Amino acid sequence: MDTIVCIKQVPAKDAPLAIAGNWINESDIGFEMNEPDSYALEEALQLKEKHGGKVVALSLGPECVKPTIHEALAKGADRGIHIADDHFAQLDPLGAAKVLAAVIAKEKYDLVLTGLQSDDRGFGQTGVLLAGLLNLPHATIIMQIDVQDGEMKLKRELEAGWFQWIECPLPAVLSIQSGINKVRYATMRGIIAAKKKQILTVAKESLGVTVEPTQKIEKIYVPTKTKKTEFLTGTPKEMAAKLVQKLKVERRVI
């Protein structure tokens, strides 16, 4: 069972973020593997251990993305693909999905996994769009994957503590929910073995993909903290009614 895992590199959780225009200044911060994608990678590795096959780690971005691909290889992925693009941060989810789909379409695979969303922008759209572009079945918020006879039984997490079991054919694209498994650490043996594994670099320009942005970030800003005291007047019943109205309409907490 051959699986392609889409992995994004994001700013480290403890990185000091400084706003620069409509994005952040990335020159002096550390990066790490997107946490939801690490669960997708772990699930691919577990499926490989159960059913055999290969795991390919696919990532899009500048040269600094390669350490994240190396991490995936050290954990057990068989090879990596780096789509080189110094301006990938300007891509919207549809643009990123088009570029990823152009590479995936040339690969042999049974399953494509993505994390549910990215830690930096959190759109949660790339996996869904990828399935549409590849014309494949898709399911989101996956908590368990059981594969038998070329079919999958999938456990999806719904709201309010509910779950749903569905059947899905292969090949397919799945968006993995965080917490589906316990992510492994790279061993010293895995780190040494990763140095011998192949990372294929593909220039985004060579794919012939036309990427026209369908959305853009207008502004990034730090929320302003303000304090405001307002006194309610009237009878106790009138003040209670005013308080309920403010909580419902202005603050939307009830």
**CATH code for position 157:** 3.40.50.620
Residue 168: domain span: 3-207
Predicted model pTM: 0.83
- DSSP letters for the chain: --EEEE--EEE-TT----EETTEE--TT--EEE-HHHHHHHHHHHHHHHHH---EEEEEEESGGGHHHHHHHHHHT-SEEEEEE-TTGGG--HHHHHHHHHHHHTTS--SEEEEESS-SSS----HHHHHHHHHT--EEEEEEEEEEETTEEEEEEE-STT-EEEEEEESSEEEEEPTTSS-PPPPPHHHHHHHTTS-EEEEEGGGGT-----S-------PPPP--------S-HHHHHHHHHHIIIIIS---
As for how many domains the chain has, the answer is 1
Q: What is the pLDDT of residue 160?
A: 86
Residue 106 lies in a domain: yes
58 part of a folded domain: yes
Residue 100 lies in a domain: yes
pLDDT for res 52? 94
pLDDT at 213: 82
Residues of the chain with pLDDT under 50: none
In a domain, 104, yes or no: yes
For residue 27, the model assigns a pLDDT of: 76
Residue 139 belongs to some domain of the structure: yes
Report pLDDT for 30.
85
